[in-house]
Amino acid sequence: MVTFYFIAAGILIVTLFFIKKSVVSHVLVFVSISMLGALCSYEALHLNLAEDSFFKADALGVLFLFVTLIISFFSAIHYIIYVNKRKQGERSVAIHNASFVVFVTAISGVFLATHIGMLWAFLEASTLSGAALIYHDRDKLSLEATWKYLFVSSIGVTLGFAGIMFLSVAASNTPNYIDALVNMAPQMNTGWLKTSFIFVLAGFSVKMGVVPFFTIDIDAKDSSPSPVGAMFSGPLMSVGFMAIYRFYQIYAHTTILEWMNHLLLLTGVLSLFFAAVFILKTNNYKRLLAYSSMEHAGLILIAFSTGVTGYFVAILHLVLHAFAKAGLFFQVGQVTRVFNSKIEEECGGYFKHNPLGSIALLAGLLSIVAMPPSGLFMTEFLLFKSLMISSQWWIVFIVMFLLIFFVYAMVKKFFTLIFIENKNAHPVEMVHPLESLSPLLLIGVVLFFGVVSPDFLINIIEQATQVLPGGGGVTIK
User: pLDDT for 57-103, tens place per residue?
Assistant: 999 999 999 999 999 999 999 999 999 988 888 899 999 999 999 99
Indicate whether 259 pLDDT > 80: yes
Greater pLDDT, 339 or 473: 339
Domain contains 329: yes
- Domain count of the chain? 1
Distances from the Cα of 51 to the Cα of 4, 43, 54, 56, 74, angstroms: 11, 10, 7, 6, 29
CA–centroid distance for 126 within its chain: 13
Indicate whether 409 pLDDT > 90: yes
3-state class percentages of the chain: helix first, strand second, coil last, to nearest 5: 80, 0, 20
User: pLDDT for 193-232, tens place per residue?
Assistant: 999 999 999 999 999 999 999 999 999 999 999 999 999 9
Domain contains 177: no
Domain contains 96: no
User: pLDDT for 97-132, tens place per residue?
Assistant: 999 999 999 999 999 999 999 999 999 999 999 999
Question: Residue 284 pairs with which residues in a beta bridge?
Answer: 343
Q: Which domain holds residue 360?
A: 266-477
Question: Residue 113 pairs with which residues in a beta bridge?
Answer: 55
AA letter at 410: M
Q: What is the largest CA-CA distance in the chain?
A: 69
Helices (H), 340-452: 350-353, 355-368, 375-389, 393-419, 437-451
CA–centroid distance for 440 within its chain: 19
DSSP symbols for 290-301: HHHHHHHHHHHH
User: pLDDT for 18-40, tens place per residue?
Assistant: 988 999 999 999 999 999 999 99
d(CA 103, CA 123): 10
Give the gyration radius of the chain's Cα atoms.
21
Domain contains 193: no
User: pLDDT for 312-325, tens place per residue?
Assistant: 999 999 999 999 99
Distances from the Cα of 177 to the Cα of 182, 356, 379, angstroms: 9, 49, 32
Residue 421 falls in which region: left (phi positive, over 0), alpha (psi -120 to 50) or beta: beta
